[in-house]
Structure 1
Amino acid sequence: MFRTLVSPRLLGLHVLTIGVLIGFILLGRWQLGVFEDSGKPHAATDPAPVGVETLAQVGGSMASEALSRRVTATGVYDAKLQLLVADRPPSTDAPGGNVARDEGFWVLTPLRLADGTLMPVVRGWVKTADDPAVAAIPGGQTSLSGRLRPAQGTDSVQGRAEGLPAGQVQTVSTGELLNLWQGEKLRYGFVVADPASGSLTAVKSSPPVVGGELTWRNLAYAANWWIFAGFAVFMWFHFVRDAVRGDKARRSTSPEMVLEG
């Protein structure tokens, strides 16, 4: 039997079967990976920028389709109302890595639009509150672009919840800003300017994220490839079994066996 299994004709079959098995298993794993990746959240395609007035309302909330949308705005910065948002990394996304090392301040300056309403704008980020870039506020009519973000809750982050110096806040909360900028009509949310204003460090703000939709077709493809692999093993087994049986039959009917009998 061993001589039959290592015969040249069966050695080629063994090699071919192993190659087919590896190929089919890898193809099935690839289709399974495509299936798994299809369910993961991913960045949505960025629509064309629109005027911030169309998405950020006065005294209202923000529709889900407006979150992280690119917007444009034109107006005049109100330097007297500028604030610093404390204990912030240069990103609106969930911080990662060494958060303490990245802590600094968002420079929050309201932009007065043509209709007199205020749109809070994060012009950029600084490491220290006394950075000269904080006071370098563009004068006159200013046009900017950026991403629209929803207002934050006053207790949405951990940090110095109280005892902040004058001119600093913990979060970009529309309700808190209404108290600080009394008498003003304030639009909901805030814009993260891109590019940053002046020599400020740009604050990273990712595009909208949408949930993935599982492509069950790829899971079926993976199963098919693995079924093919099982069928290849089945065919190999039958070829080998038939070869062994045939060799046994030939040896039993060979002249040498007859003479010995």
Structure 2
Amino acid sequence: MLRPQWIGLLLLCLAVAAVFAWLGQWQLGRAIDTDPPVAGATEVVQPLVDVAAPGEYLSEPAVGQRVETTGTWVPGDFLLVESRYNDGVEGYWVTGQLRLDTTETPTSVAVALGWAASEAEALEAVDRLEAESSGTRPEVVDVTGRLISDEGPVLPRSSADPQTMTRMSPAALLGRWHDVDRLDVYRPYIASTAPFGGLSAISSPAPDERSNVNWLNIFYAAEWAVFAGFAFYLWYRLARDAWEKELEDFEDAAAEAP
């Protein structure tokens, strides 16, 4: 172990272990949130433009944030989403495209307007909403609700209508909306607090308070510590293997001597 080649290898292992130790410290720094969100921050209503921007993914602290905005409904874009549960009861959501009036360029956000227990009730609400939104001067509406991330589109069952939606996905809705040329769209959607079109209110409780400790990062930090220790073990194991080989060579030479 005192030979120059093994001392050089030890210095290399020290450098590798130092890098692993730095990575472990970096993971620990990310594991503890020193500036966690204030308790109940998601319940303070904020303007939509202050929480998210069109085309951007919703950051974790903003998931479930209550927001408010204004705009007009786009006729013909009131669509149903199946398999939506309200306090344990399965039903339908009626969704709409809200064209915002607070932006310079055409911008829309998907809104879940309310819940219905049956498809017939949901379709009746669609008819009412279409009648209210049609006309030469659409009514400007105020919308307040929770901002929720895109659930991602999924294929319907093979026996179902190909247009059936079971996930609230603005990406999927965009494919069926009208007047979308050069349109900016929000990736998350708003679950409206107040129902529209005679629907029932959507049950959307406040999100659970996040822990300020990220255990996954702590696990990664422990892994880097193990890797640093393994660097020293590798050096020891290589040096020991070389010593045992030399010892065997000496024994073999002694056995062959006259």
> Does TM, scored on the shorter chain, surpass 0.5?
yes
Is the aligned partner of 1:130 residue 2:120?
Answer: yes
- How do residues 164-179 of structure 1 correspond to structure 2 at under 5 angstroms? 164-165=160-161, 168-179=164-175
Aligned to 1:147: 146
2:90 to 103, 116, 123: 103
Secondary structure in 1 aligned to 2:119? Answer: coil
- SS of 2:120's equivalent? coil
TM-score under structure 2 normalisation?
0.55
Within the candidate set 77, 93, 114, 2:73 is matched to 77
1:117 paired to 2:107: yes
Deviation sequence 1:199-240 (CA, Å, 0-9, x none): 2011111213223479xxxxxxxxxxxxxxxxxxxxxxxxxx
Query: Greater Rg, structure 1 or structure 2?
Result: 1
Distance 1:57 1:129 in 2: 33
Unmatched 5+ stretches in structure 1:
1-42, 97-101, 215-261
Q: CA deviation at 1:125?
A: 0.7
Secondary structure in 2 matching 1:169:
coil
Count matched residues: 160
TM-score of the superposition, structure 1-length normalised? 0.54
Shift of residue 45, structure 1, vs aligned partner: 4.5
Identical aligned residues as a percent: 24
Specify whether residues 207 and 162 from structure 1 end up closer, same or farther in structure 2 by C-alpha distance, changes over 3 A only: farther
* Whole-angstrom CA distance in 2 between matches of 1:180 and 1:61: 21
Q: What corresponds to 2:200 in structure 1?
A: 201
Q: What 5-or-longer segments of structure 2 have no aligned partner?
A: 1-38, 134-138, 214-258
Instruction: Give the letter aligned to residue 111 of structure 1.
Output: L
Distance 1:82 1:166 in 2: 17
1:60 and 1:112, CA in 2 relative to 1: closer, same or farther beyond 3 A?
same
Check conservation: 1:83, 1:168, Cα contact below 8 A: no
Root-mean-square deviation over aligned CA pairs: 2.5
